[in-house]
Copies of this chain bind each other. A is one copy, B any other.
Amino acid sequence: MKKLAVLGDFLEPHHHAQIDSTAARCGFAVDYYPDGHVPAELAGQYEVLYGMPDRAALRTFTSLKWFCGSFAGVDAYLDDALYPSPDVILTNSSGAYGVTIAEHLIMVTLMLLRHASAYVLEAAAHRWGPVLPMRSIMGSTITVVGTGDIGTEFARRAKAMGAKSIRGVRRTMKPADPAFDSVHTHDQLESLLPDTDLLVLALPSTPDTIGFLSRRRIALLPKTAFVINVGRGSAIDQPALVDALNAGQLAGAALDVFVQEPIPDGDPIWDAKNLLLTPHVSGQLSLGYTRDKNVALFCEDLENYAAGRPLARYVDRKIGY
């Protein structure tokens, strides 16, 4: 019988049952390694790997044919040299995180528009805060870079809350969810920035997206704009964003991802003005829905794999998505 290893501690008993029964149907026996570590002498027996393995350990899986990461951003796993063979198939769990990250996006959008951080800090100091001018999602013009699962789930929610216009920006011109009022390509972004109230970045990290929101592009946003990033920190010229925030050239930002994580002591990003900073938690795996979806997507691709069909969440390591 072929063997499958599942690495990580996010599984509940019903997920084990679901993986076990799918694997049995597909001719696989399953071993679980909740601490993520597979002893080197056992690694060679596994044809399939699902979860969050240490990058450096991948080469010890000498029989590996398919690795499914239980996360969406697989940029750390693109190098062929990490694998025992360049033929190992890489898939991700894109599609599991849309709901939780969309809820994060709606939350931080409203927190920026309604000064929530200021009120939290005032209340912690036992102060009855001042009345501060608020803004609304209703009537806002929103630009979402990345029209995949995350961007789409966010666009649907922002639409339901009355956004005036939601423009999706993607690499290539293809139709997107009807929640997007229009779709544009990356090279059209700059024409959209000057009337953007809220710029949301939900980009995978690929060679193309490093420094995507450059100093020049930040300067095209109005002073009243907010920037939100839930993709990868590398997509933003972080020093340029800090400069713009501190100079009042932007109304604020909410970042869940950073160039370096955790943020180092003394990094100026800690003290940037009107910055709502969360420690890369928008898409973490504690939410039941995310775990359920993650396992369901893997099981779906396990059935595809066993039947010799293409895998739904295949990642081309050369282009990064």
Contacts and interface: CB of A to CB of B under 8 A. Distances in A.
Contacts of A134: 100, 281, 284, 286-287
A306 interface: no
Contacts of A161: 103, 106, 157, 160
A107 B109 CA distance: 9
A277 interface: yes
A279 interface: yes
Contacts of A123: 270, 276-279
A131 B286 contact: yes
A107 B265 CA distance: 30
A262 B128 contact: yes
A138 B128 CA distance: 32
A136 interface: yes
A266 to B, nearest CB: 9
A132 B262 contact: no
Contact of A281 (B113, B132, B138): B132
Given A111-B111, A136-B287, A119 B278 contact: yes
A138 B99 contact: yes
A289 B130 CA distance: 20
A2 to B, nearest CB: 33
A146 to B, nearest CB: 20
A289 B136 contact: yes
Nearest to A162: B99
Contacts of A137: 103
Interface string A86-110: 0000000000000110011011001
A121 B110 CA distance: 18
Given A104-B114, A116-B111, A276-B120, A289 B138 contact: yes
Contacts of A215: none
Contact of A119 (B121, B124, B262, B281): B281
A217 interface: no
B136 A99 contact: yes
A9 B219 CA distance: 34
Interface string A253-292: 0000000011101000010000011110100101111000
Given A103-B113, A156-B160, 14 more contacts: A100-B136, A103-B137, A107-B107, A107-B111, A107-B114, A110-B110, A114-B281, A119-B277, A121-B124, A126-B270, A128-B262, A129-B279, A136-B288, A157-B161
27 contacts: A99-B162, A100-B134, A100-B136, A103-B113, A104-B114, A106-B106, A106-B110, A107-B110, A114-B281, A119-B281, A121-B121, A123-B270, A123-B277, A123-B278, A128-B261, A128-B279, A129-B278, A129-B281, A131-B279, A131-B286, A133-B287, A134-B284, A134-B287, A135-B287, A135-B288, A136-B288, A156-B160
Interface of A: 99-100, 103-104, 106-107, 110-111, 113-114, 116-117, 119-124, 126, 128-139, 156-157, 160-162, 261-263, 265, 270, 276-279, 281, 284, 286-289
